[in-house]
Chain A
Amino acid sequence: MKTLIGLDRIGRREFLRNGLVFGAGAAGLAAGYAAVPDSFARAVYFAKRDGVVNDRVLVMIQLAGGNDGLQTVIPLQDSRLRDLRPSLGAVAQTALPIGGSEFGLSRSMPGLKALFDKGKVAVVQGVGYPRPNGSHFESIRIWETADPTQRQQDGWMGETIAKNYDSAGHPLVGCACGTTGLPGILRDAEATLTVVNDARGFAFNGGDARDRSIGALYTNTPGIYGALFDSSIATARDTAAKLRAGAATYTPKAEYSDNVRLTYSSRNQLAAALRLASQLIVTGTGVKLLHVTLGGFDTHERQMQRQEQLLAYLDGAVSAFYADLAAHGMSDRVMVATWTEFGRRPRENANQGTDHGSATPVLLIGDTVKGGLYGQAPSLSALATDGNLKYTVDFRSVYQGILEEHLGVDPLAVLGQTFPKLSFAKPPAA
């Protein structure tokens, strides 16, 4: 095992300085400053005893808008595909077969096909949840909170941080890369995390004096946003310092290129976001959970070309990310997983597009993955009454596998219940 992320490297002083973590002002104040060191020590003790201290890192990629599973992992031998999709079904002829002759990846994903053939990609098919919700925003929230009943408000990644790594007490445990705001999947009042849109320019202009005076301005801020403001500023200052220290020592060892032609979404800086993720991992910031987003998958019209461009971009960016980590000797600790709010309707609409659907595949990529096909592809012959696919794997089974096998943390503490096991990941060394 390489250098541990550093629970042990983070001093008590640093923790205290950052003790008022994201949104936790009230709880922090209620606990009182004097109580913090004890709870810190206790948390570290438990974290170590439970074996949470490992070098594993998770990168979740959101394919926002609802990714069409049937044009991502394509059934090659089901004649129903052509019946339901007179135009879009043609993708079966050009797909890149994986794990036999029954399924293939879209032809626009040669990089992932190559990684699949090396055993580095797990494809979980038919992922969804009961009573699928057709709203982008409600279904995003369901996936973010791991709760189809929509009662939870914390994101499952945020909760994972809060329950397992928060005691590290520095802001880079979790990071949303390539966005200006915190995604719901990372939201948790007790989680330490940061948001970096672009590492270049992530500093208060005006040097140390400005940095300090901003810190002074945002101290004990009153009002309902006071704790959020203060912790965001403290996090910003810490993050800026860490990025400054890391930027000098990181040189990407793969070609990341953003696809400027992709105009479907304002969130098309996936390659830059993954490059930033790599910098954070490679420079030893201690980052554990990262989130990036690629938008544009809401393909209600002229889906074929648009979907292929999006998948090609995803393929290129993820391939570069993997190659970069591998060249830095870090790929054995990082898992990449995709998620999307829903798949799309099997029957294409009159605009050569597809409307909102339900079940969809999840791709897991990395050295910690046990490659292959998991789950069961939903039948195209036995659709639900609304014309959508019937899910075969609860999405929380995927989360459970990631938490338990890849990250080595207790999934029950985050998910609240236990789901059928999917063993697509290699557990961390004890």
Chain B
Amino acid sequence: MGMGEGTPKRLRADAPSRRKVLAVAGTAAAGVAATRLLGLRDLSDRAFSSALGRTAAMALEMAEPEMAMDPEMAIDPAMAMDSAMDAEMSAPKPAPLAEPSSTPASSATPRPAPAAPRPTAAPVKPEPAVAPRTLSLDWVPPFATEAGRVAHLLRRTTFAPTRAELERAQSEGYARTLDRLLETPPAAPRVLTDADARNIGTLQTWWLEHMIQSPTPFAEAMTLFWHGHFTSDFRKVGTGQPYLYWQNLTWRNLGTGDLRTLVKQATIDPAMLRYLDLGISTGRNPNENYARELMELFTMGAGTFTEDDVKAASRALAGWRLPRANEEVRTGVFERARAYAGQVTFLGKTGTLDTDGVIDRILANEATAPYVVRALWTHFVSPSPNASAVALLASRFKGSGYQIKPLLRDLFTLAEFTSPGSYRALVKSPTELMVGLARLLGASTLARPINAAADGMGQRLFDPPNVSGWPQNAGWVSANSMIARANFVSAALGQVRDLPLADDAYLRALDGVVGPSTASILDRTTGTRDKWMAILSSPEFQLK
């Protein structure tokens, strides 16, 4: 279907735009579909129907005459309804986003498998015979327009865009926005004094403030990703030394570089040396803690190595200790006397190995690139990576010498990234939710309230539940966490003095794509604070 690319100048938030029209039409279409289903379920609701009527009318009003004439503008309700009923069949496909030669997206990646109804579960038991999609309403992804895709990219990479960021990206377009996200060096956070760096509360709010205010929020999103991947917690690391502050700076500095450097730095990072005990391991009496998690959680994945590999790697990695105060380094220090000089058999080969050798062997292993690709995919793209696309991206990743930036470019230019199955397919972590809210509201003062609310939602920074980091998606959703989320919204709105007008918040925060219940509530809500309350509490806003 030939949905056209919007011309950037027309896609401004202050004028009715193709995106707006399409999105609203989409909502209306969802409503039509809904009515059909509601008929089946005999659950018709008068207020709901009238809200739909109004939304559909808005869609028509907002369509500028010349745009409505435009054959590319598909606001034919029947057509839109079809796409709501069967999004995969008729939702418009985005145009290729990069040159075929430089991206795997154009030909090699087949259509994604439909998103699993229960994303956390391993696909073992057969799913219910009736797929939810055929029974519930789908949001209509706004991916037909470049503006919709740009908004999606920013939501996935910047927590949520500020008004200025959104407007700039809309005028620049997808490709230039992606370039800028990937190529702009991370803005450095405020330098902390030693005392502040060793105060966990200060350290947490310092990072949250930077997430909210940084001009390079993608660097913070990547730092948060690596913090969850190569994780460490302050309870074991302690606060006698500024190790977690250093570790945070390391993830920011190296987060889009190459995996080899990152894994090496993770291995000899002082916080990690303490967290997983490599700093006290010796060749004579190796401690297995780091060696196991290096393979299982950081690089290769469970089931790809043996217990003997754990023992061998723990010998080969030994020799590092924490730096002493007078050494003025921010990494571990290697002492040959503590290391193991003999041969080990590791991942099928026998010989003498040092730390670099272990990492080389891990990076040569066929499990590593797919594992890391999958980790990034499930964080940024969708909960159900497409196996053949993972394989392709993994081979490109390995082939590039494990360069992370090109891998990210691949992920964000994949057809899957802007396919219907990826729309609202990821649940925001508490940090993403709260920092995104602060950025949307332009509220730089929320770092402390965010930090105070984090524990109740299950994500205190520098304090993951265990060495596998934080859960994802459905793992964030429980009766408890939904209360915590809603209560954070009301607390935050109570603290922000100058709330921005909520007039276009529905578009800016929710793409203008909402389900019938949210539409109905928004229609009935007046007043800036109440509107923001409904928008930020909505199920749509919990998703990225």
Measured CB to CB, the residues of A under 8 A from B are 23, 25-27, 29-30, 32-33, 64-65, 134-138, 151-154, 171, 176, 179-182, 187, 189, 194-198, 201-206, 210, 213-214, 216-230, 232-233, 235-236, 239-240, 263-267, 295, 298, 300-301, 349-351, 353, 355-356, 386
Contact = CB atoms under 8 A, between A and B. Distances in A.
A203 B483 contact: yes
Given A30-B128, A220-B515, A181 B486 contact: no
B502 to A, nearest CB: 16
B128 A239 contact: no
B130 A181 contact: no
Given A134-B292, A226-B515, 8 more contacts: A181-B458, A201-B487, A202-B483, A214-B537, A217-B521, A223-B136, A223-B515, A350-B284
Nearest to B515: A222
Interface string B515-531: 11110110000000000
A386 B288 CA distance: 13
A222 B456 contact: no
B479 A194 contact: yes
Contacts of B427: 225
Contact of B484 (A153, A180, A223, A224): A180
Contacts of B480: 179-181, 194-197, 202, 236
Interface stretch (B329-337, B356-364, B408-416, B465-473): B465-473
25 contacts: A29-B136, A151-B124, A153-B122, A180-B484, A181-B480, A187-B121, A194-B479, A194-B480, A201-B487, A202-B483, A204-B487, A205-B491, A218-B539, A220-B516, A220-B517, A224-B115, A225-B474, A226-B132, A226-B136, A227-B132, A228-B474, A229-B542, A232-B482, A266-B233, A266-B464
The 5 closest A-B pairs by CB, nearest first: A350-B285, A180-B458, A236-B479, A195-B478, A30-B130
Contacts of A228: 474, 477
B403 interface: no
Nearest to A264: B235
Nearest to B480: A195
A194 B474 CA distance: 14
A240 B483 contact: yes
Given A26-B132, A30-B135, A240-B483, A300 B287 contact: yes
A213 B538 CA distance: 10
Contact of A233 (B302, B473, B482, B487): B482
Nearest to B121: A153
Contact of B456 (A26, A136, A197, A301): A197
Nearest to B276: A300
A415 to B, nearest CB: 16
Given A26-B128, A198-B456, A226-B539, A213 B534 contact: yes
Given A214-B537, A266-B465, A223 B424 contact: yes
B456 A229 contact: no
Given A26-B130, A137-B302, A180-B456, A266 B287 contact: no
Nearest to B119: A224
Given A137-B302, A198-B456, A224-B132, A356 B477 contact: no
A301 B277 contact: yes
A204 B483 contact: yes
B236 interface: yes
A257 B4 CA distance: 64
A244 B287 CA distance: 49
A26 B135 contact: yes
A189 to B, nearest CB: 6
Interface residues of B, number: 89
A264 B466 contact: no
A135 B468 CA distance: 11
A266 B463 contact: yes
A224 B425 contact: yes
B81 interface: no
B481 to A, nearest CB: 5
Nearest to A26: B132
B116 interface: yes
Nearest to B520: A216
A300 B289 contact: yes
A232 B475 CA distance: 12
A281 B326 CA distance: 57
Interface of B: 30, 34, 41-43, 115-122, 124-125, 128-132, 135-139, 233, 235-236, 277, 280-282, 284-289, 292, 296-297, 302-303, 307, 310, 383, 424-425, 427, 455-458, 460, 463-468, 471, 473-484, 486-487, 490-491, 515-518, 520-521, 534, 537-539, 542-543
A195 B479 contact: yes
Tell me whether chain B's interface is mostly helix, strand or loop, or mixed.
loop
A281 B372 CA distance: 45
Contacts of A264: 235-236
A222 B138 contact: yes
A171 B480 CA distance: 12
Contact of A23 (B118, B277, B487): B118
A196 B539 contact: no
Nearest to B234: A263
B164 to A, nearest CB: 29
B288 A356 contact: yes
A26 B310 contact: no
Contact of A25 (B125, B136, B521): B136
B296 A135 contact: yes
Contacts of A351: 277, 280-281, 285, 287
Contacts of A65: 466
Contact of B517 (A196, A221, A263): A221
B388 to A, nearest CB: 21
Contacts of B303: 138
Given A205-B487, A217-B521, A180 B482 contact: no
B55 to A, nearest CB: 15
A152 B135 CA distance: 27
Contacts of A356: 288, 292
Contacts of A181: 458, 471, 475-476, 478, 480-481
Contacts of B482: 218, 229, 232-233, 236
Contacts of B286: 349
Given A216-B520, A224-B116, A195 B235 contact: no
Contacts of B464: 266
Contacts of A265: 235
Contacts of B34: 220
Contacts of B282: 350
B291 to A, nearest CB: 10
Given A26-B131, A351-B280, A225 B543 contact: yes
A223 B543 contact: yes
Contacts of B465: 266-267, 295
Contacts of A240: 483
A224 B455 CA distance: 26
Given A203-B483, A224-B115, A355 B289 contact: yes
Contact of A217 (B302, B487, B539): B539
B201 to A, nearest CB: 15
Contacts of B476: 181
A176 B124 CA distance: 25
Given A197-B480, A214-B486, A301-B277, A220 B136 contact: yes
A47 to B, nearest CB: 23
B531 to A, nearest CB: 12
B277 A136 contact: no
A298 B43 CA distance: 52
Contacts of A225: 119, 424, 427, 473-474, 477, 539, 542-543
Nearest to B467: A136
B478 A232 contact: yes
Contacts of A226: 132, 136, 515, 539
B534 A217 contact: yes
B310 A134 contact: yes
Nearest to A29: B135
A228 to B, nearest CB: 5
